[in-house]
Amino acid sequence: MASGLVERLRGLIGGPITSAFGCIVALLLLGSLYSSSFLSPEYLLQQLKVASFLGVIATGAMLVILLGQIDLSVPWVVAVGGMMATAATGWGPWGSAFAIPFGIACGVALGLLNGFGVAFLRIPSMIVTLAVNAVAQGLMVVHTGGFSPQDASSPAMRFIATGHGLLGIPNALLVWAAVGAGAVFVLTRTGFGRCVYAIGNRERAAYLSGARTRLVVMAAFAVAGGLSAFGGVLLAGYASKAAQAMGDPYLLPAIAAVVLGGTSILGGRGHYLGTVAGVILITLLQSILSVMQIEEWGRHLIYGGVIVAMLLLYGRAAPTR
CA distances from 178 to 85, 105, 301 (A): 21, 19, 34
pTM for the whole thing?
0.91
pLDDT in tens, 118-131: 999 999 999 999 99
User: Which residues have a Cβ under 8 Å from the Cβ of 162 and sit 6 or more positions away?
Assistant: 170, 171, 172, 237, 238
Asked if residue 64 belongs to a domain, the reply is yes
| Number of domains within the chain | 1
What is the average pLDDT score of the chain? 87
pLDDT in tens, 143-174: 888 777 778 899 999 999 999 877 789 999 99
Asked if residue 159 belongs to a domain, the reply is yes
Average pLDDT over residues 185-209: 94
Asked if residue 289 belongs to a domain, the reply is no
Angle (deg, nearest 10), helices 155-162 and 171-189: 80
- Domain of 98 in residue numbering reads as 40-248
Q: Which of 34-43, 172-181, 255-264 is predicted with the least confidence, judged by mean pLDDT?
A: 34-43
User: Which residues have a Cβ under 8 Å from the Cβ of 139 and sit 6 or more positions away?
Assistant: 80
Asked if the model's pLDDT at residue 316 lies above 70, the reply is no
Asked if the model's pLDDT at residue 183 lies above 90, the reply is yes
Residue 225: what pLDDT? 97
Asked if residue 229 belongs to a domain, the reply is yes
Residue 320: what pLDDT? 42
Asked if residue 72 belongs to a domain, the reply is yes
Asked if residue 16 belongs to a domain, the reply is no
